[in-house]
Amino acid sequence: MKSQSNLCEKCRSAGLIVPAEIVHHKVHIEPNTINDPNIALGWDNLQALCRSCHAAVHEAEYNKNKTPSRYSIDENGNVII
């Protein structure tokens, strides 16, 4: 966080100054990776993010791993998931 001046890396690359709140692990910490220091503490695996970027990263990964949602439209024009 300090190395990034406590700013969100994703927002900063988009030209926005937003405080970082979470250190994201690009390769996630899981039972089989937590003891690997390159993953748990490796500089290249860490990313300082704000809350909304962090949520977006995880949501994108989640959506990538599930089958696409199907949408339809009801008689009033509302989208039904």
Q: Residue 26 and residue 16: Cα distance in Å, rounded?
A: 21
Alpha-helix residue ranges (DSSP H) falling in the chain: 9-13, 37-40, 51-65
From 5-13, 31-39, 62-70, 71-79, span contacting Zn ion (CB under 5 A): 5-13
Residue selected from 11, 39, 46, 48 as contacting Zn ion according to rule CB under 5 A: 11
Radius of gyration for the alpha carbons in the chain, expressed in angstroms and rounded: 17
What's the DSSP call for residue 16? -
Residue where the block lists tokens 């969100």: 8
Taking the complex as a whole, the smallest distance from the CB of residue 10 to Zn ion amounts, in Å, to: 5
Q: Which of residues 29-58 bind Zn ion (CB under 5 A)?
A: 50, 53
Between 11 and 80, name the residue whose CB sits nearer to Zn ion: 11
Taking the complex as a whole, the smallest distance from the CB of residue 50 to Zn ion amounts, in Å, to: 3
Site for Zn ion contains 10 (CB under 5 A):
yes
